[in-house]
Homo-oligomer: A and B are copies of this chain.
Amino acid sequence: MHLKIHALGAQECESCGIRANALFADLTSDDFRLIDRMIHEISVPAHTTLFDEGTQGQTLFTIRRGLVKLVRYQTDGTQRIIRLLTPGDIAGLETTVQPVYDSSAITLTEVTACRIPRTVITQLESTSPRLHAQLLRKWHEALRQADDFIADLASGSARQRLARLLLRLSKGEGCRPVLLPPREDVGAMLGITTETASRAVAAFRREGLLDPLDRQSRRFRIDAVALAAVAARSD
């Protein structure tokens, strides 16, 4: 398994590109000196498990590039995806409260992330009120995403759910192509079977709401307006 690790100096961390919307958004240079070499940038391929539900852990990850799924395993062994993490989101936030992971985190694409020991957070939290505010904001974001998941992706017909998922994956940028996870994962996100997910995608393709840019039907150009109509349709 190809995996790259790189310890970050205070300098690098301070000048991080996505820091604006990340956890360390407004720390001071003094703060950064404290975390020098404590944080590692890692780069892992798709289908890598960052951590498993129920296991002990002291590490959180801020996603810098790629897509991560949070999953819970059901009694029948199948998995239910409970949240999707995109750049700026944090996996393993729960370890700042209690050193056990509430769900498993698995990469859907190649992912680069920052691996942060929970001690860094707990230490900084007492010294920096700024980090504290950011942390609360992250909790709020996570909860909002979970609520959205219930309201958007667990309600309505398969067509509606898929339309909402596509719109969410496009993050409002209707022009840029959307990368759709494997159908099995689409099903696990929407609470439907793989076949139903496949049929819904095929239907959207026939209707021109979706246009594959790819032989394997992974990347699509989407018709955001038409999809929004499907997502909202009440009939």
Q: Which residues of A contact B (CB under 8 A)?
A: 70, 72, 74-77, 80, 82-83, 93-94, 96-98, 102-103, 126, 129, 132, 135-137, 139-140, 142-144, 146-147, 149-151, 154-156, 191, 231-232, 234
Contact = CB atoms under 8 A, between A and B. Distances in A.
A52 B139 CA distance: 21
B82 A147 contact: yes
Given A76-B234, A82-B151, A94-B143, A129 B126 contact: yes
A191 B155 CA distance: 6
Contact of A140 (B74, B76, B94, B129): B94
Contact of A97 (B80, B94, B140): B140
A70 to B, nearest CB: 8
18 contacts: A74-B156, A75-B231, A75-B232, A76-B234, A80-B150, A80-B155, A82-B147, A82-B151, A93-B143, A96-B136, A97-B137, A98-B140, A102-B143, A103-B147, A139-B140, A143-B143, A146-B150, A155-B191
Nearest to A136: B97
Contacts of A77: 234
Nearest to A74: B155
Contacts of A144: 94, 102
Task: Pick the 3 closest A-B CB pairs, nearest first.
Answer: A76-B234, A146-B146, A154-B154
